């Protein structure tokens, strides 16, 4: 992807994909992590976000049995797909490039004015 084009990831999607770069995680943990960044989402709203990432084939989701307390329960877990990792990297590059070249241009534009 050209770094000149505005990335199609939202800030929140960028954040979620970034969290998954470290490895697979349960949905609950991702939700808590984004809450730490000030993004409070209800559980259904959060899973709506994740379902759309799955539908766009950026992440994979599956159920896995875990033990909580003394009970066996299932939870939804997610991992980043290569396409997701690629899109995240492209988005990061876009903003990096913009931060480098764009600020210079902005400064130039201001001085011309």
Partner 1 sequence: MRRTRLARLLGRLLPGTVRADLFEPALHDLYVDAARTGRGTALATLGLFLESWRLAPAEVFAMFVHDVRHALRLLVREPGFTIAAVLTLALGVGANAAVFAVVNAALLRPLPYPDAERILLLQHRDRRTGITKTFVAAGDFADLRARQRSFESLAGFGFGPSTIFTSDEPFNVGVLQATPDLFDVLHVGVPIGRALTPADAAEGAAPVVVLGDEVWREHFASDPSVVGRSIKMGPAMRQVVGVAAPGFRFPANTRTDVIVPMRMPAQAPAQRKNGWTFAVGRLAPGVSMAHALDDLTTISRQMEREHPDQNEGSEYFALTVRDWLVGDTKRALVLLLAAVSLVLLIACVNVANLLVARAVGRRQETAIRVALGAGRSRLVAQWLTESLVLAVVSGAAGVLIARWAIPLLVRLAPAASNLPDPDGIGVDRAVLAFTAGLTLLTTFVFGLAPALGIRMDRAAGALVNPGRVTAGHAARRAASALVVIETALAIVLLTGAGLVLRSFSHLLAVDPGFRAERVLTFDVQLPAERYRQEPARAAFYTRAFDALTHLEGVEAAGTAVVMPLTGNNWTVGFERADRPVPAGQRPPDVGWQAASGGYFTTLQIPLRAGRLFDATDRPGGPPVVIISEAIRDRFYPGEDPVGRKIRGGDGNATIVGVVGNIRRAALTDEPRADLYFPSEMSPQAQASFVVRTSGDPLQSVAAVRAALRAIEPQIVVREVTTLEAIARESMQITRLALSLLAVFAVAALALAAIGIYGVMAHSVRQRTREIGMRVALGATASDILWLVMRHGIAVAGLGAAVGLAAGVAAARSLSALLYATSPGDPLTLAAATAVLLAVALLACYIPARRATRVDPVQTLAAQ
**CB of 93 closer than 8 Å to CB of 3:** yes
CA-based torsion, 53, 58, 62, 64: positive or negative: negative
Distance between CA 46 and CA 13 in Å, rounded?
A: 11
Which residues have CB under 8 Å from 1's CB, separation 6+? 7, 87, 90
* Binder among 11, 52, 79, 86 for partner 1 (CB under 8 A): 52
- Stretch (H or E) spanning 63: strand 59-68
Output 48 or 97, the one with its CB closest to partner 1: 48
Binding of partner 1 at residue 45 (CB under 8 A)?
Answer: yes
Least distance to partner 1 from the beta carbon of 72, Å?
7
Binding of partner 1 at residue 72 (CB under 8 A)?
Answer: yes
Least distance to partner 1 from the beta carbon of 81, Å?
13
- Name the one range near partner 1 by CB under 8 A: 1-9, 59-67, 87-95, 100-108: 59-67
Binding of partner 1 at residue 36 (CB under 8 A)?
Answer: no
Binding of partner 1 at residue 27 (CB under 8 A)?
Answer: yes
Name the packing angle between helices 27-36 and 11-20 (round to 10°): 120
Least distance to partner 1 from the beta carbon of 90, Å?
21
């Amino acid at each position: 992807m050209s770094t000149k084009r505005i990335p199609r990831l939202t800030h929140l999607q960028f954040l979620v994909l970034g969290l998954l770069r470290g490895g697979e995680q349960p949905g609950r943990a991702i939700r808590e992590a984004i809450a730490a960044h000030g993004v409070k989402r209800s559980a259904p709203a959060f899973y709506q976000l994740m379902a759309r990432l799955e539908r766009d084939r950026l992440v994979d989701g599956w159920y896995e049995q875990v033990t909580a307390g003394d009970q066996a329960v299932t939870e939804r877990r997610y991992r980043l797909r290569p396409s997701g990792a690629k899109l995240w990297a492209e988005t990061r590059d876009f903003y990096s490039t913009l931060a480098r070249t764009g600020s210079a241009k902005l400064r130039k534009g201001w001085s011309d004015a």
